[in-house]
């Protein structure tokens, strides 16, 4: 008995055997606690990475009054904006390419028949296919020089650059007093140099080009020309003038070209050395004379009216209902974003506060 008590190794062994069960229980509890904490951390991380739909709905419902107020403000603003925009009317016309009997085709036939003899005499009759007059006319309509002449001819500078609406009751244009003084008939707009109070030709051209729309159907070759303006009567009148002016412009151009060709052929006829070429020149003169006659006979020289311009009775724009709907949708989306940002910002701030408070509680308890 005494030997067992005196032996230190045996005492230490007995002591260790007595303490080991409590250490095992403590380590097992610690392991379970670590597993539980790890599971909670993983769950929090998963919840922070994936937005719960129910949480979104709760956040939206919590901020319903903010959403209603913002949508109401946007609705009022969109209604006011839609009502402030003046009505725009669109006049349109459908045109067809005029027939070109005996025009370029006759010259092409002569060039193919007598081109060799004419080249021997030093005369160029031209090639075969000429320029499409319809395509050329459509490009001229949109050209700067033609539109500038059109504006000057019909005195459209003030209606184009100074008008801001149309009075239905008096059937008159509403002019902006800050741009044009109707009493003194002078431009009073304030602009920076090098611009002047009176708009330039380039400015008027750009504005008128925005009012004008020209298109051609590739399958039917039908041409559609449209003009948008505050006044339906003026839109129809301008479109009528535009169609007449482009036909007149193309007719004048062909008349000048035909007359120049006839004068040139007559001069060359006096100096001709080859007897067989006289027939060629006489046929060329006859062809150009026929072209001259066609320009004087056909009032619609290039573009023939199928559906003439009419005074529009229904406005083309603005689409006020669409403006209000888009305004409400924009307000709804913006208000929901604001509510969600505020909600998740508060949630994150509260989570950080709780996280910082837990270590303090542990320290105070210790």
Give the pLDDT confidence of 136-179 residue by residue, as tens digits: 999 999 999 999 999 999 999 999 999 999 998 888 999 999 99
Tokens 């504006």, residue? Answer: 151
Domain endpoint, select from 276, 294, 315: 315
Question: What angle (nearest 5°) sits at the alpha carbon of residue 242, between those of residues 97 and 305?
Answer: 35
The SS3 call for residue 90 is: strand
Q: Structurally, how many domains does the chain consist of?
A: 3
**Residue 331: C-alpha distances to residues 80, 118, 316, 334, 339 (Å):** 15, 76, 26, 5, 12
pTM of the model: 0.71
Give the pLDDT confidence of 177-215 residue by residue, as tens digits: 999 998 999 999 988 888 899 999 999 999 999 999 999
Mark whether 117 and 257 lie in a shared domain: yes
Handedness of CA 245, 251, 255, 261 (dihedral sign): positive
Specify the CATH number for the domain of residue 240: 3.30.1890
Mark whether 360 and 282 lie in a shared domain: no
Mark whether 167 and 249 lie in a shared domain: yes
**Low pLDDT (below 70) residues in the chain:** 1-31, 33, 40-51, 99-131, 273-276, 354-366
Tokens at 56, concatenated: 């979104």
Mark whether 91 and 8 lie in a shared domain: no
**pLDDT at residue number 360:** 55
Q: Please, how many CA atoms are within 13 Å of residue 273, restricted to the half-sphere of its CB?
A: 5
Mark whether 35 and 62 lie in a shared domain: no
**pLDDT at residue number 132:** 82
Give the pLDDT confidence of 233-245 residue by residue, as tens digits: 999 999 999 999 9
The SS3 call for residue 310 is: coil
Mark whether 164 and 303 lie in a shared domain: yes
Q: How far is CA 256 from the centre of its chain?
A: 40
Mark whether 184 and 35 lie in a shared domain: no
Average pLDDT, the chain: 80
Q: Which domain, by its residues, includes 327?
A: 52-84+318-366
**pLDDT at residue number 326:** 95
**pLDDT at residue number 350:** 75
Residue 99 DSSP one-character state: P
Mark whether 73 and 32 lie in a shared domain: no
Tokens at 319, concatenated: 């689409």
Mark whether 230 and 121 lie in a shared domain: yes
Mark whether 233 and 105 lie in a shared domain: yes
How many CB atoms within 10 Å of residue 199? 22
Mark whether 254 and 136 lie in a shared domain: yes
Mark whether 172 and 38 lie in a shared domain: no
Domain endpoint, select from 297, 315, 333: 315
List CB contacts of 124: < 8 A, sequence separation 6 or more. Answer: 118
């Amino acid at each position: 008995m005494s030997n067992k008590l005196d032996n230190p190794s045996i005492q230490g062994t007995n002591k260790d055997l007595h303490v080991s069960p409590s250490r095992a229980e403590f380590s097992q509890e610690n392991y379970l606690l670590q597993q539980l904490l790890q599971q909670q951390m993983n769950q929090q991380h998963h919840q922070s990475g994936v937005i719960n739909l129910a949480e979104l709905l709760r956040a939206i419902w919590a901020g319903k009054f903010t959403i209603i107020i913002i949508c109401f403000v946007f609705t009022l603003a969109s209604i006011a904006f839609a009502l402030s925009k003046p009505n725009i009317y669109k006049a349109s016309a459908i045109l067809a390419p005029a027939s070109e009997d005996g025009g370029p085709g006759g010259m092409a036939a002569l060039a193919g028949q007598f081109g060799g003899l004419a080249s021997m005499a030093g005369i160029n009759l031209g090639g075969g296919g000429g320029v499409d007059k319809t395509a050329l006319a459509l490009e001229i309509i949109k050209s700067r020089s033609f539109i500038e002449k059109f504006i000057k001819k019909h005195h459209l500078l003030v209606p184009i650059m100074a008008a801001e609406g149309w009075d239905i009751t008096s059937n008159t244009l509403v002019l902006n007093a800050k741009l044009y003084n109707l009493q003194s008939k002078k431009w009073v707009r304030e602009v920076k140099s090098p611009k002047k109070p009176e708009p330039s030709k380039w400015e008027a051209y750009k504005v008128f080009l925005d009012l004008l729309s020209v298109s051609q159907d590739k399958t039917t070759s039908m041409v559609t020309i449209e003009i948008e303006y505050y006044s339906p009567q003026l839109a129809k009148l301008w479109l009528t003038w535009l169609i007449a002016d482009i036909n007149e412009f193309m007719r004048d151009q062909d008349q000048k070209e035909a007359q120049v060709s006839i004068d040139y052929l007559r001069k060359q006829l006096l100096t001709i050395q080859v007897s067989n070429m006289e027939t060629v020149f006489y046929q060329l003169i006859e062809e150009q004379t026929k072209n001259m006659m066609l320009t004087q006979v056909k009032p619609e020289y290039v573009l023939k009216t199928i559906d003439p311009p009419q005074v529009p009775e229904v406005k083309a724009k603005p689409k006020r209902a669409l403006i209000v709907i888009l305004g409400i949708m924009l307000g709804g989306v913006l208000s929901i974003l604001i509510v969600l940002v505020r909600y998740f910002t508060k949630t994150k701030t509260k989570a950080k506060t709780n996280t910082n408070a837990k270590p303090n509680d542990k320290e105070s308890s210790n």
